[in-house]
Structure 1
Amino acid sequence: MEGYEMDYSEYLHDISVRDLLDLVLEDEEARSAVEFADFTAAVVESDSTFRSLIARGPLIRPNDSRWWRRSLPPYGGNEFVNDVEERLHVSLTRTV
């Protein structure tokens, strides 16, 4: 079992990419591109994997409209686990 190794700020930075993907998915001009179907399929596949992971983790923002920001992964490396515990008072499993 592997887990996120960086701190919570880095995690938020990394998942902010999904915010950008959402903007592209909603963009009318992007939707008209030939590659859009392949792009969408790749996002759906990635989302499925990530969604199943965070579904097992703690809910931290239940009212966020972006599902990828509502929960955390259930486990991580020491730095991530320690930072989440300190900042959010949420316990995660250490992957050590």
Structure 2
Amino acid sequence: MKNQVSTIYKQAERFAEITKTAIITGNISRAKKCLALAEQLLITGSNETKIAISNVYLFSVSSFMELRHCSISNLFPKSLKAEYIKQINTSGV
């Protein structure tokens, strides 16, 4: 059970790593599927799930994409993009 993911936050972190790997390797269709799943979790998940997707997954993926100058607006679904914009406005960046 060495690879067992213990908390929802660790799961969100691992999910972000999978998404970033898909982007790095050029597998944009897989990256879009991951982002669509994250979107679905953000909309229909429990409160804790929504927080994990927003604070762990979205922060990790968006930071990664910005550092590599990837176009976020083309990949992020509507709700994820709205949450991303909310985070940027809150942070004062």
Same fold (TM over 0.5): no
- Which structure has more helix as a fraction of its residues? 2
TM-score range, shorter chain: 0.3 to 0.5
- What TM-score comes out, normalization by structure 2 length? 0.40
TM-score, normalised to structure 1's length? Answer: 0.39
Does 1 or 2 have the higher relative contact order (CA < 8 Å, sep 6+)?
Answer: 1
